[in-house]
Amino acid sequence: MTHPAYHLLESPCLATLVGCLSQFPQVAKIYLVGGAVRDVMLGRPPVDFDFTSEHDPTALARAFATQCEGHWFWLDEQRRQSRVVIAEGTFDFAPWRAPTLAADLAARDFTINAMAIDLTVFPNAKELIDPLNGRNDLSGKILRCVGPNVLQDDPLRVLKGIRHAAELELEIEPVTLWAMQSAAAKLTASAPERVRVEIWRILAAAAVCRGLDWLAECGAAEILFGRDFCDGTAIVQRSVLRANALFAALADDNPTIAEWLSEPVEQGMDRRMLLHWSHALGVINAELPLMMAHRWRFSRNALSRIAALRSLTPQLWQELLNLPRRPRPIALWALNHGPDPVDLLLALGALQDDEADAVRNQLAPIMALLAELPEVKRLPPLVNGSWLKSELGAEGMELGAILAQLRLAEIDGVVNDAVDARRYLVRHFLEKC
C-alpha cells in the first residue's frame, strides 16, 4: 500500500496550510488525522480533512481560510473546533481531545480512522503515526473499534461503522459487531440530521446488501425503522439491487440521466439516494418513507417529492408506455402526478419486477425524450393568456380551465404544437358556445 504522503503531494491546499504554520509557533505541530489519511492509503482522493494539534489551532485555521479565500466558522467554540470550507473540500481543526496524540487517536472510533501524519515535516514525513495498527486492519479489510466504550460514547458510530464497512467493503470483526449490538439501543438519542446521512450513504454504498444485513444484525434497523423492516431485509436488498442495476444502465445510455441521478436534493442527499430511500422503505410499507422523512426532518423539497412517489401504482407504468413519444406529453403527464418528472419515471422503472435490461429498453427511449427539454419541471403552455383573452375572450378562472384542458389534449396526442393548440382551442371554444 503506497505511503499516504505520496498522494498528499497532489493537494496544494496542504502545502498552503504548512506554509501558514510558520506564522503560529504557538501551534507547534499540526497533524492530519482520520478519514483523509485512510482514504489516501486506499488511493481515494480525500475531500474532508481533519487536523489536530496539542494547542488551539483556531488562529491557524483562520489564516488558512484567508489564504485560500475560504469560509471559516465555528463547529464548537467551547471545544475550539472550527471548519474551513473551500472549493477543494472541508477542513476541520481541533485541539487534541486528550493529553497526547496517542491518547487522542485512542479516543476516536475505528482503527482505520486513528492514523495520523505529522504535517510539520510534510512532505518529508517518513513514518505513519499508527499506534492502533489501523494500517494493518485497512490492508486486511477489517473494521475494528479502537476500544470497548467508543460506541457507547457516541452511538452514531454504530451507523458510521456500518457505512464504512459497506462503502469500503470491509468485514466487521466480531468484538466490534458485538459492541454495535450493545450500543444500538442508544441510537434514538442521536440527532436525526446525523442519523439520516449515515443511512443515505449505506443505501448508496458498494456493498449495500451487507450494510443492510449489519443494520438488521446489530439491531439498528429495528430501532430505526421497526420490526417489519428487519423481517423484510431480503426484499429491501433485492429492490435496491434491481434499482441500482437499472439506474446504472440508464446512466450508461445517456449522460443527462447520470447528471440527473447525481443532482442534489438537499445537503448529503442526491436524487439517487432519494429514490433508494423511497423505494427501499416503500417495499416494506408505503407510508414508511414519508413518515421517517418527517421524523428525520428532511427538507421541504425532499418531503414533497417523497410524498408524490408514495402513490405510484402499476397502472401508471402502462400509462407511461402508452403516451405519445414526444417530450412535452411525457413531462406534462408526469407533472400531473408529482413535482419532478425525472423522479416519477425512474421510480416507476425501479418498481418493475422485470429484469433491469428489459425495463431499461422500455424506459431509456422515454428518458431520452425527456432529456430533450431544457426544463422538465416548468413547461410554458403552447398559448399564452393574452392570446386566450384576445381570441377567445377568456378571463379569470376560465383561463386556468382552458389551459388544463389543453394540457390533457397534449398528453392524449390530440395537440402537437402551438398551431394545433390554437386550432383546437378555437374549435373547442366555438363548439362550446
How do residues 184-194 score in pLDDT, each as one tens digit?
A: 999 999 999 99
Q: What is the pLDDT of residue 124?
A: 62
Contact 152, 182 (CB under 8 A): yes
Give dist(CA 219, CA 161) in Å, integer.
14
Task: For 4-135, give the CATH class.
Answer: alpha beta
Q: Is 44 left (phi over 0), alpha (psi -120 to 50) or beta?
A: beta
Please give the mean pLDDT across all residues of the chain. Answer: 92
Q: What is the pLDDT of residue 426?
A: 87
Q: What is the pLDDT of residue 1?
A: 46
Mean pLDDT check: name the lowest of 21-30, 47-56, 121-130, 305-314: 121-130
Q: Going by C-beta distance under 8 Å and a sequence separation of 6 or more, which residues neighbour residue 268?
A: 196, 197, 200, 201
Q: What is the pLDDT of residue 397?
A: 81
Q: What is the pLDDT of residue 4?
A: 55
Q: What is the pLDDT of residue 121?
A: 77
Q: What is the mean pLDDT of residues 252-259?
A: 95
Q: Is 129 left (phi over 0), alpha (psi -120 to 50) or beta?
A: beta
Summarize pLDDT for 324-341 with one digit per residue, the tens: 999 999 999 999 999 999
**Is residue 431 very low, low, confident or very high in pLDDT (cuts 50, 70, 90)?**
low
Summarize pLDDT for 362-391 with one digit per residue, the tens: 999 999 999 999 999 999 999 988 888 888
End-to-end CA distance of the chain: 81
Burial of 310 (0-12, 13-18, 19+ CB in 10 A): middle
Summarize pLDDT for 195-217 with one digit per residue, the tens: 999 999 999 999 999 999 999 99
Q: For residue 131, is pLDDT > 50?
A: yes
Q: What is the DSSP letter of 184?
A: G
pLDDT above 70: percentage of residues in the chain: 96
Q: What is the mean pLDDT of residues 38-44?
A: 88
Nearest to 364 by CA among 261, 277, 252: 252
For 141-225, CATH number out of 3.20.20.100, 2.40.30.20, 2.60.40.10, 1.10.110.30 equals 1.10.110.30
Supply angle C-alpha 379, 380, 383, rounded to 5.
Answer: 140
CB atoms within 10 A of CB 331: 24
364 phi/psi in degrees, rounded to 5: -55, -45
Contact 306, 274 (CB under 8 A): yes
Q: What is the pLDDT of residue 60?
A: 96
Q: What is the mean pLDDT of residues 2-19?
A: 70
**Is residue 5 very low, low, confident or very high in pLDDT (cuts 50, 70, 90)?**
low
Q: What is the mean pLDDT of residues 237-262?
A: 95
Give dist(CA 337, CA 308) in Å, integer.
7
Q: What is the pLDDT of residue 122?
A: 62
Mean pLDDT check: name the lowest of 151-160, 326-335, 423-432: 423-432
Contact 421, 415 (CB under 8 A): yes
- Which three cell numbers, joined as nine digits, stand for 72? 471559516
